[in-house]
Structure 1
Amino acid sequence: MLIILDRDGVINQYAGGYICSPDDWHPIPGSIKAIARLCSAGHRIAIATNQSGIARGYYDRDTLDAMHRKLGRLLRIAGGHIDFIAYCPHHPDEHCTCRKPEPGLLQQIQRHFNLKTLAGSVMVGDSRKDLEAAAKKGCQPILVRTGNGLDTEQELQTRPLAESAQVLVYDNLRSFTDAFLSGRDW
């Protein structure tokens, strides 16, 4: 199965500011091992991440690549890997089609894996934008309470997704992985 992950707030720590260097990029405890476990179970892993810090001039593509190399090194040590990373470098004012909640990043992932549909795939995120993009492409939306997740969970109680997709909620990527690999909730 294809599992699509948001990056900031799902894999790495995120407190609302921009992560502008590999030194500022710190994994959430348990997230690296969780990805490695998903890989070991035969699942393909992709990342879909908005990175408007590039358009804002906070960092460049080479710095983003360095952050992703750091992620890759940590995953290799743990026995995992990322199959594909799709990112949106645009400013929100550019109104591009790849910035979540638009489905462009997921369409890139779909093309990369040569899939007719993403239905049956899973997308794990911490924001409403992640969940809306997932629902638009037929993925099962998963919310984690890390990053912006607690605020998003509270918002969903009063304003559910328009796509009427059932959102499953877990404390973090590790608890999602535990449930997913055990078959619980699935």
Structure 2
Amino acid sequence: MSIVFTTISSAEEITQVLTLQQENLRKNISEETADNQGFVTVVHNFDLLNRMNTAIPQIIAKDGDQVVGYALVMPESFKNDVPVLMAMFDMLGALEYQGKLVKDYRYYVMGQVCVSEAYRGKGIFDGLYKTHQNLLSSQFDICVTEIAKRNTRSLSAHKRVGFEIIHEYFDTTYPELWEVVVLPLAS
């Protein structure tokens, strides 16, 4: 296993990200798998992911020719493209991180992070975020995302790499209790 952290450079890689996403969507896995392995919530399509990649190169982990993990950058300009994230984007104007409004930072939202089941526990999650810090810290101060509170594996992994919880809210549109978390990108 020789994992390489890079950015999406082909239509095939976009397709592989979308396949990995489908394999890990909450609606496509059992309750037991969701509880033990975590899950993803947002569904992207090829066009959206291609546009996101054009705006800011999307970070992936590859083993040979196979995408085995991804961590998607979602700039604020895409907030209307993913309805489940709109409530979080809207509240960022009022949330604070380290005594300053989130909206006053140079920030982006983590559109989604996922590692293939066979590759979990091998440092890929951490490597994806380290690559984010290495590639994006000159453009952005912080990365913000929200995690379903019941997704305990994902919450634990995000805390491990340095994310801090800044807010919790219940979204009635997509009935879910969410934790809003922030990662400082400066080393």
State whether TM-score is above 0.5. no
Band of TM-score, shorter chain? 0.3 to 0.5
Identify which of structures 1 and 2 has the higher relative contact order when contacts are C-alpha pairs closer than 8 Å and 6+ apart.
1
Q: Which structure shows the bigger proportion of residues in strand conformation?
A: 2
**TM-score (ref. length: structure 2):** 0.34
**TM-score (ref. length: structure 1):** 0.34
